[in-house]
Amino acid sequence: MFENLSYKKKFFALLALMLVLGITAYKRSFSMTLDAAQLLEESKQKLEKVSNSQQRITNLIAEVSYLDKLIGKEVANPDIVQQEILNTFTEINTNTQLVKLEAIHKASDEYFNIYTNRLILTGNYGDLLKTTYNYEKAFDFSRVVSLQFYIEKEPRTRRKKLFEQIIFQNYEKIR
């Protein structure tokens, strides 16, 4: 059968047979291998994203716990914080006078309740600074977030008095 064909026709038949076998081999094994390699690469990228996400979650948890320590103790009742502000003031023993402790101001967002206490003191500059320093160092129920010194004249005696306003804030997580 093949003896009657010329070498040129045999060559073209062989090329056609090789082309058909190549296409069949590609469809049967090479395409599956390439798809599996592509799937493996995508899986590696997804696994890397997941491990990075886990690391980010761990870092965020550590950061949140650090911030919880930084912003003060979480107290069940904000009135306790106000009472502790007064207790700490009596323990400090400086020549400052308590002028006013305002009512608790509450602000909320979707994650926290924020309680603000405002304390107004009067006295000389050194004693006011000592009082503020003691609140910063020893008072851990709330944090000092603002401090303001100002002078007012008394209308009767026309003497100037130095006042200090300290604002404390503590946070409560909304569960």
Provide the pairing of β-strand 105-108 with 160-173: unpaired
Q: Using one digit for the tens of pLDDT, what is the confidence trace for 5-16?
A: 888 888 999 999
Name the pLDDT band for 113 (thresholds 50, 70, 90): confident
What does the alpha-carbon distance between residue 12 and residue 18 come to, in Å, rounded to a whole number?
Answer: 10
Average pLDDT over residues 9-33: 88
CA distance 123 to 161: 8
**Burial class, 73, CB count within 10 angstroms (exposed 0-12 / middle 13-18 / buried 19+):** middle
Which pLDDT belongs to residue 38? 92
According to the model, what pLDDT value does residue 171 have? 82
Q: Which residue has the tokens 């590696």?
A: 44
Looking at the chain, list the stretches that DSSP marks H as alpha helix, in order from N- to C-terminal side. 7-25, 31-70, 78-92, 125-138
**Confidence grade of residue 2 (pLDDT, cut at 50, 70, 90):** low
User: Could you read off the pLDDT of 132-168 as tens digits, one per residue?
Assistant: 999 988 887 888 889 999 999 988 888 999 999 999 9
Q: What is the rounded distance in angstroms from the CA atom of residue 147 to the CA atom of residue 111?
A: 26
For residue 113, what are its two tokens? 């309740």
Answer for the pair 166, 147: CB distance below 8 angstroms, yes or no. Answer: yes
Nearest-angstrom CA–CA distance, 42 and 147? 55
The pLDDT, as a whole number, for residue 42 is 94
pTM of the model as a whole:
0.61
Summary mean pLDDT of the chain: 86
Which pair of structure tokens corresponds to residue 156? 């009767």
Q: What pLDDT was estimated at residue 111?
A: 77
Q: How confident is the model at residue 100 (pLDDT cuts 50, 70, 90)?
A: very high
Q: pLDDT tens digit string along 46-84?
A: 888 888 888 888 888 888 777 766 665 666 688 888 898
